[in-house]
């Protein structure tokens, strides 16, 4: 009976080593590749918006489609800081401040955009796009079989840039 239990445990360990561990390692490598793809997609989107000075409905949808192609679900945050001038206390000079457009305002407008519509920005505005993984990947699920860990997004990327002189 003792030999049976020892043999059974040995088979279980063999299954783990031969199947589960390589699968988890492969999934972790896929996550690393997806992180690179997400970073490239966010960089390209922000740089295009920065150089154009506006977001078209078509560009936004292409960005969403590229992220969707990775097979994950993401929380996307877009923030536009608009440079606004206020009179200073002596009423001769003006002071600059950056006022953020609300996330719901930007995404709400982008969701309504047709191919020809644009969300315009002006020279000096600053756009930031953050993408955070919202679902749990296979690699994280496999790791959680043996290690009980708190969920933290494995894919998180933020990039921002100032709207340049090319903008109207």
Whole-model pTM? 0.72
CB 81 within 8 A of CB 103: no
Render pLDDT for 128-163 as a digit per residue (tens, 0 to 9).
999 998 887 766 666 666 666 665 667 889 999 988
Contacts of 70 (CB under 8 A, 6+ apart): 34, 37, 38
- Tokens standing for 110? 């982008």
Strand segments, DSSP code E, in 9-168 are 54-56, 74-87, 94-101, 118-120, 126-133, 156-162
What is the DSSP-derived secondary structure letter of residue 150? Answer: -
Q: Which pLDDT score, from 0 to 100, does residue 129 have?
A: 92
Contacts of 97 (CB under 8 A, 6+ apart): 83, 84, 85, 86
Task: Name residue, tokens 């970073």.
Answer: 39
- Listed range (35-39, 76-80, 116-120, 158-162) with the worst mean pLDDT: 116-120
Q: Which helix (H) or strand (E) holds 48?
A: helix 21-52
Q: Which pLDDT score, from 0 to 100, does residue 42 have?
A: 96
What is the DSSP-derived secondary structure letter of residue 18? Answer: I
Render pLDDT for 25-69 as a digit per residue (tens, 0 to 9).
666 667 778 888 999 999 999 999 999 988 888 888 899 999 999
Pick from 134, 155, 167, 161: which is nearest to 37 by CA? 155
pLDDT at residue 102 above 90? no
Using DSSP's 3-state secondary structure scheme, residue 76 falls into: strand
pLDDT at residue 115 above 70? no
Q: What average pLDDT score do residues 119-134 get?
A: 87
- Tell me the torsion sign for CA atoms 62, 64, 67, 70: negative
């Amino acid at each position: 009976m003792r030999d049976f239990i020892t043999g059974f445990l040995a088979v279980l360990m063999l299954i783990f080593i031969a199947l589960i561990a390589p699968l988890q390692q492969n999934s972790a490598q896929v996550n690393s590749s997806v992180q690179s793809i997400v970073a490239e997609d966010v960089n390209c989107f922000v740089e295009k918006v920065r150089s154009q000075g506006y977001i078209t409905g078509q560009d936004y949808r292409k960005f969403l489609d590229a992220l969707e192609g990775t097979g994950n679900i993401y929380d996307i945050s877009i923030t536009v800081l608009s440079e606004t001038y206020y009179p200073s206390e002596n009423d001769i000079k003006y002071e600059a401040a950056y006022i953020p457009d609300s996330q719901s305002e930007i995404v709400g407008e982008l969701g309504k955009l047709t191919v020809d519509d644009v969300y315009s920005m002006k020279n000096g505005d600053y756009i930031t796009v953050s993408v955070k993984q919202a679902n749990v990947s296979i690699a994280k699920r496999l790791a959680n079989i043996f290690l009980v860990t708190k969920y933290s997004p494995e894919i998180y990327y933020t990039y921002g840039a100032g709207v340049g002189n090319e903008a109207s």
